[in-house]
Amino acid sequence: MLLLPALNQMIDITTTRLMATRTHPPGIIFVLLVALALAGALLAGFAMAEGKGRSWVHLLAFAAILAATVWITIDLEYPRLGLIRVDTVDEVLADLRRSMD
């Protein structure tokens, strides 16, 4: 009697975890993220066009921050493909499964 509820909870949490890793935002979110980056770059370009000179430090910093924001957002969404990895969590679960056999 004590084993059945625990087993049911384990199956539920595994299903929840599996669905969380397979569910991603719709493609329109990524399109809007790119559109926002382009709109920000356009507005920054128009603002710099009025000035007499260009500050290369500001230009490169803006481009780097914009690219890093888009890249980290996509990297967080797909944690098994980029630099931000969840392999250690998977390894702990695999060790737990091996210990149950």
pLDDT tens digits along 33-82: 889 889 988 888 888 888 788 888 888 898 899 888 888 888 878 777 77
> Rounded to the nearest 5 degrees, what angle is found at the Cα of 45, between the Cα atoms of 42 and 60?
105
Angstrom CA distances, 88 to 59, 67, 93, stand at: 38, 27, 9
Burial letters for 64-79: b for 16+ Cβ neighbours within 10 Å, e otherwise?
A: eebeeeeeeeeeeeee
Distance of alpha carbon 85 from the chain centroid: 10
pTM for the full model?
0.56
Confidence label for 89 from pLDDT (cuts 50, 70 and 90): low
d(CA 45, CA 60): 12
